[in-house]
Amino acid sequence: MTNSVPVIHDPREMQSLVQSWQRAGLRSGLVPTMGALHEGHLSLVRTARETCDRVVATIFVNPTQFGPKEDFSRYPRTLDADLTLLASASCDVAFVPDREAMYPPGFSTSVEPPAVSVPLEGMCRPGHFGGVATVVLKLFGIAPTDAAFFGQKDFQQARVIERMVADLNVPIEVVVCPTVRETDGLAMSSRNRYLSPEDRQRALALWRALERAQQLFRAGEHHTAALSQAMHAELAKGVDQVEYAVVVDPDTLGEISHVEKRAVALIAARLGHTRLIDNLILTIP
Ligand code: AMP
């Protein structure tokens, strides 16, 4: 029999388990996901494992963070494989609620996400970060662990959650882990499964554009307009549509005309029906 992690479906049962860990003096960590797991997700579990006695991963494709024309219904769902992968990464338990457990009849409270949610993804995906902030705060209530682990892959999401946790005094440490990439540079993503072999090759344009920005930055180009233009030129070789390709302030995600020390390059682009995002922090080594 293949190894699998124990699964909890009921929020109250999950909460009681984490509370029992707290009483036993065990440090616990939370890894929220939407499933269709890959090495990027598993790296979060492994990082959690290094510093925590108990690790919970959650698998929930949260309907409220998808727009009406987005891919909620076709989002990949691979629960059995996910549970095996979680076991291989020494995760202790998977929390897999259904929609009714998370949003029972009468549910009507939501988080107004912070200012850092407004540009970029906030413009392209109205309502997305409200859905994310609300479900993540719910997960923090259901699994009140000591720490929660997120990927830099979703750079703006990590900023939104850090700000929410600070603003609402949520007693949880937010840990942001590096983006895991395929050997050719493509950031791992559950949505990469949508790509045809040809689109998979074309998708490399995102990584090439980010690398180009880093290279120019290190060669002394600190004007964000020039860096953005260079990214657009690389992207034009591969993707069908660029939603944004910008260099902004890494804390506020606000526009800047010139990079002083640090900035982040962020891209959202479409290949056919697939929307991919990626980012890279621009630094002088
Ligand atoms: P998702 O299932 O796409 O909602 O992602 C769940 C968590 O995994 C989020 O914190 C993501 O940022 C993180 N994640 C997704 N892809 C990667 C990756 N390639 N490297 C590191 N973390 C990732």
Nearest CA to ligand 1 atom 7: 33
Q: What is the mean pLDDT of the chain?
A: 97
Nearest CA to ligand 1 atom 6: 33
Q: How far is the CA of 9 from the centre of ligand 1 (A)?
A: 22
- Which atom of ligand 1 is found nearest the CA of 178? 21
Write down the pTM of the prediction: 0.98
pLDDT at 4 over 80: yes
**Res. 230 pLDDT band, cuts 50 70 90:** very high
220: number of Cβ within 10 Å: 7
- Which atom of ligand 1 is found nearest the CA of 187? 19
- Which atom of ligand 1 is found nearest the CA of 43? 21
* One-letter amino acid for residue 208 of the chain: R
Percent of the chain with pLDDT over 70: 99
Q: How far is the CA of 43 from the centre of ligand 1 (A)?
A: 9
pLDDT at 20 over 80: yes
Confidence (pLDDT) at 42: 98
Span 138-155, mean pLDDT? 99
User: Which distant-in-sequence residues (6+ apart) come within 8 Å of 32 by Cβ?
Assistant: 57, 58, 60, 135, 136, 139, 148, 150
Confidence (pLDDT) at 285: 86
Q: How far is the CA of 219 from the centre of ligand 1 (A)?
A: 31
Q: Is 9 left (phi over 0), alpha (psi -120 to 50) or beta?
A: alpha
Span 79-104, mean pLDDT? 98
Q: Which one of the listed residues 38, 41, 128, 222 is annotated catalytic?
A: 41
Quick: pLDDT tens for 48-91: 999 999 999 999 999 999 999 999 999 999 999 999 999 999 99
Pairing between β-strand 274-282 and β-strand 93-95 as defined by DSSP bridges:
unpaired
- Which atom of ligand 1 is found nearest the CA of 189? 16
Q: How far is the CA of 151 from the centre of ligand 1 (A)?
A: 5
Helices and strands (H, E) in the chain, number of each type: 10, 9
Of 187, 142, 157, nearest to 253 (Cα)? 157
Burial class (CB in 10 A: 0-12, 13-18, 19+), 148: buried
Confidence (pLDDT) at 228: 98
Which H or E run includes 101? helix 99-102
Which H or E run includes 83? helix 79-88
Enter the tokens of residue 122: 């906030």
Confidence (pLDDT) at 2: 65
Nearest CA to ligand 1 atom 12: 151
Helix (H, G, I), strand (E, B) or coil at 95: strand
Ligand 1, CB within 6 Å, residue ranges: 33-34, 40-41, 43-44, 150-151, 153-154, 177, 179-180, 187-190
Q: How far is the CA of 124 from the centre of ligand 1 (A)?
A: 19
Q: Is 9 a catalytic residue?
A: no
Helix (H, G, I), strand (E, B) or coil at 246: strand
Of 125, 273, 277, 268, nearest to 195 (Cα)? 273
pLDDT at 1 over 60: no
Q: Do residues 276 and 206 make contact, with C-beta atoms less than 8 angstroms apart? A: yes
